[in-house]
């Protein structure tokens, strides 16, 4: 079975540009998580969806960040406009059940560099 | 206050040595979950173990073992006879109730980088 799929794997952009990261969760999983990983702040939860509905977006840094999950098999994380401090690895993860009690299965991540 | 503390930032061991990675957590919940994940140099996080707060039985899986002690709020991870392939960053995580419809938020520790030297 395919795991969590993320695209692109690497993204290099210039400050001010819009960036869209994509995620396809494991089929049948009800929960989807977006994380950001940096050396300074470690692994941070940005947003959590359950059955396509955002449940916890308290980790979204600011209005420049937005996330959508239009259906059970696709989610996007958008940064507009991007800034150099957004450079990080962004992970998408999915899990079978509700909330954080289940094991999360992570995608390979998208390494974002904002120049 | 940090909810999950991994005090060891980096550890280096020689191959075949045993190594223990420490994890101390903080929560007021009686029901919570603890996890360990491995992040090899390739970057992807890989699930290792999940344990709920009512199950204090230690677990062994091959060369890996976990020691869960509620009395000290610790969930330590031991690798026996370490191998070069064990070199990775290891994360401990806590899932606790956020008092909102059963949602349990996961908080990750800062990770411990393990280097196994051949």
Q: Looking at residue A59, what DSSP letter applies?
A: T
From CA A92, how far away is CA A103, in angstroms rounded?
13
CB contact under 8 A, A43 and B91: yes
CB-closest option in A50, A102, A106 to B44: A106
Chains A–B, number of C-beta pairs less than 8 Å apart:
56
Enumerate the residues of chain A whose CB falls inside 8 A of the CB of residue B105: 45, 48, 56, 99-100
Residue indicated by tokens 């150099």:
A84
Q: Given this model, what pLDDT does residue B62 score? A: 93
Interchain pair A89, B111: CB under 8 A: no
Cβ-Cβ contacts under 8 Å for A28 (sequence gap 6 or more): A96
Beta-carbon separation of B47 and A42 below 8 A: no
Name every chain A residue with its beta carbon within 8 A of the beta carbon of B44: 106-109
Q: What angle is formed at CA A54 by the lines to CA B51 and CA B92, rounded to 5 degrees?
A: 25
pLDDT band at B58, cuts 50/70/90? confident
Q: Which residues of A touch B107 (CB under 8 A)?
A: 45
Q: Which residues of A touch B47 (CB under 8 A)?
A: 103-105
Of B1 and A64, the structure prediction assigns the larger pLDDT to: A64
CB B105 within 8 A of CB A45: yes
Is A89's Cβ below 8 Å from some Cβ in B?
A: yes
Q: Helix, strand or coil for residue B73?
A: coil
Alpha-carbon gap, residue A75 to A18, rounded angstroms: 16
* A91 closest CB neighbour out of B45, B50, B103: B45
CA distance B110 to B117: 22
d(CA B77, CA B7): 13
Mutation test of the interface with chain A: which of B30, B45, B90, B109, choosing the one with the most A Cβ atoms within 10 A? B45
Whether residue A99 and residue B103 make contact (CB cut-off 8 A), yes or no, is yes
Length of chain A: 115
pLDDT in tens, B81-114: 999 999 999 999 999 876 656 677 889 999 999 9
Confidence of residue B4 (pLDDT cuts 50, 70, 90): very high
Strands B74-79 and B19-21: antiparallel
Q: Is the dihedral of CA A56, A58, A60, A66 positive or negative?
A: positive
Cα(B69)–Cα(B73) distance, integer angstroms: 6
* Chain B residues touching residue A104 (CB < 8 angstroms): 47, 106
Q: Do B103 and A106 touch (CB under 8 A)?
A: no
Kindly report, residue by residue over A64-104, the tens digit of the pLDDT.
999 999 999 999 999 999 999 999 999 999 999 876 778 89
- Strands A110-114 and A10-13 turn out to be parallel
């Amino acid at each position: 079975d395919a795991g969590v799929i993320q695209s692109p794997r690497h993204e290099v952009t210039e400050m001010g540009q819009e960036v869209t990261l994509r995620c396809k969760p494991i089929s049948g999983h009800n929960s989807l998580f977006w994380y950001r990983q940096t050396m300074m702040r470690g692994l941070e939860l940005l947003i959590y969806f359950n059955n396509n509905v955002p449940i916890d977006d308290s980790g979204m840094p600011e209005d420049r960040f937005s996330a959508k999950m239009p259906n059970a098999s696709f989610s996007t994380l958008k940064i507009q406009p991007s800034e150099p401090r957004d450079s990080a690895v962004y992970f998408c993860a999915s899990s079978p059940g509700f909330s954080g009690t289940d094991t999360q299965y992570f995608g390979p991540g998208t390494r974002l560099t904002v120049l | 206050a940090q909810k999950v503390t991994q005090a060891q930032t980096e550890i280096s061991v020689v191959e075949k040595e045993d190594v223990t990675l420490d994890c101390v957590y903080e929560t007021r919940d009686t029901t919570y979950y603890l996890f360990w994940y491995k992040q090899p140099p390739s970057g992807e996080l890989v699930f290792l173990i999940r344990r709920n707060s009512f199950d204090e039985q230690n677990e062994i899986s091959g060369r890996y073992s976990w020691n869960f002690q509620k009395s000290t709020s610790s969930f330590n991870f031991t690798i026996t006879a370490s191998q070069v392939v064990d070199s990775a960053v290891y994360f401990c995580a806590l899932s606790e109730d956020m008092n909102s419809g059963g949602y349990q938020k996961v908080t990750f520790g800062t990770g411990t980088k393990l280097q196994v030297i051949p």
